[in-house]
Structure 1
Amino acid sequence: MIVWKSKDVPANALLHDWNYAPRLFARLHVVYTNGADGRSQWIQPPKGTLKCNTNAAVFQKANMTTWVAMLRDSIGSFVGCCFGFGDGCMKANMVEALAVREASSWLKDKIIAAIIMETNCPTVIEACTNPAEDDSEMGIGS
């Protein structure tokens, strides 16, 4: 069970959303931005485009997870954000995937012409851009 906006989400609805994700990502440009030194660096999107950066964290000692999505314009100015947290520990790549999913859900109703979705989790990018080839635990199967 996943709780979102204080609603229980049935497993079949979650599976439907997960299976729909590749079509959503076909409309988004997803990039991985770790430099050669392993540090993330923010790169400006083209003028007229917004960039949504996502990130997540797992706090094992506190038994909780958290994620955030921040939307910025082409000069780096803050446009908006959403975030969430929950009790229990998930694997880091799953929380990163949740961050991208929740950010996508948050952005879908906004009237924005072009958005670049950016994450620093290569497993999530691979699962979203090549789902048929993904054999990780985030694979959606074929």
Structure 2
Amino acid sequence: MSIEEIIFRANQLCNEWQATQAAKIVSYVTNSPHPIAWRLPKQNALKCNADAAFIPESRHAGIAWIVRDQYGRNKGGKLSVVQGIFNLFLAEARGFREALSWVKDRGYDCPIEFETDSMMVVQAIQGLKVDNSYFGSIISYFKALLQELTSFSFSFVKKSANQCAHLLARAAISKSGFLEWGETPPNLISDVLSFDLINI
């Protein structure tokens, strides 16, 4: 077998493996009607909402996420600014990758329900095509992280169902700040947290 044939076969096997891994991810993506209001996660599960805001002129993005339990209680979250982002799609993908990594590092021993209002990110995760772009590399890393979680779901929701994360991302970029918290969330989302619980 020539070196060209070996390389071709290696690439073929790599693509087959990636397609198999991607298929596993697709089975965890929920396809129910897109919620327009935030909902409690299932019993004994946690829900992670993530979002991003983007300023084209400065190529800065604010990314944020918040984790809540089955009673709507805050379990932690983070907001920060990322530089060198070229569009909103990259900001959304980068933010969700960071959120997933943060959740994984905390070793939550329960199912995790991830939600985003970025349809493009959801479609990229569902896709089987290998994408060698920067956006594609973020999605590939995201898929690899998902493989390390034992139980999860991944859903697209309307922005109205993702208001806490949306507000946090905008705050991150407007203040150019960094904030991480445990069970006591920042005051800037207290009204939205209350609104979400009232409207469940």
TM-score bucket of the superposed structures, by smaller chain: 0.5 to 0.7
Task: Tell me which protein shows more helix as a share of its residues.
Answer: 2
Q: Is the aligned partner of 1:117 residue 2:114? A: yes
Paired-residue identity, %: 27
* Higher relative contact order (CA closer than 8 Å, sequence separation 6+): 2
Q: CA RMSD in A?
A: 3.3
CA contact (8 A) 1:34 1:41 kept: no
Number of the residue aligned with 2:102: 106
Shift of 1:64: 2.1
Of stretches 59-68 and 105-114 in structure 1, the one that deviates more from structure 2 is 59-68
Runs of 4+ in 1 over 6 A off after TM superposition: none
Deviation at 1:138, TM superposition (A): 3.5
| C-alpha distance in structure 2 between counterparts of 1:74 and 1:139, whole Å | 33
Q: Secondary structure at the match of 2:96?
A: helix
User: Is 1:127 equivalent to 2:129 in the alignment?
Assistant: no
Kept in 1, the 8 Å contact 2:53–2:62? The answer is yes
Match of 1:93 among 89, 94, 98: 89
Structure having the higher strand fraction is 1
**1:28 CA displacement:** 9.4
Name the SS of the counterpart of 2:70 in structure 1.
Answer: coil
Which residue of 1 is the match for residue 53 of structure 2?
Answer: 57
| 1:76 Cα offset (Å) | 1.5
Q: 1:71 to 1:31 in 2, by over 3 A?
A: farther
1:30-45 alignment runs, 5 A limit: 30=29, 40-45=36-41
CA offset digits 1:9-46 (Å, max 9, x no partner):
xxxxxxxxxx7xx66x83995558855xxxx5212110
TM-score by length of 2: 0.47
Gap regions ≥5 residues in structure 1: 1-18
Structure 2 residue identity aligned to 1:26: I
* 8 Å contact kept, 2:54–2:60: yes
Cα distance between partner residues in 2 of 1:31 and 1:56 = 21
* Counterpart amino acid of residue 121 in structure 2: V
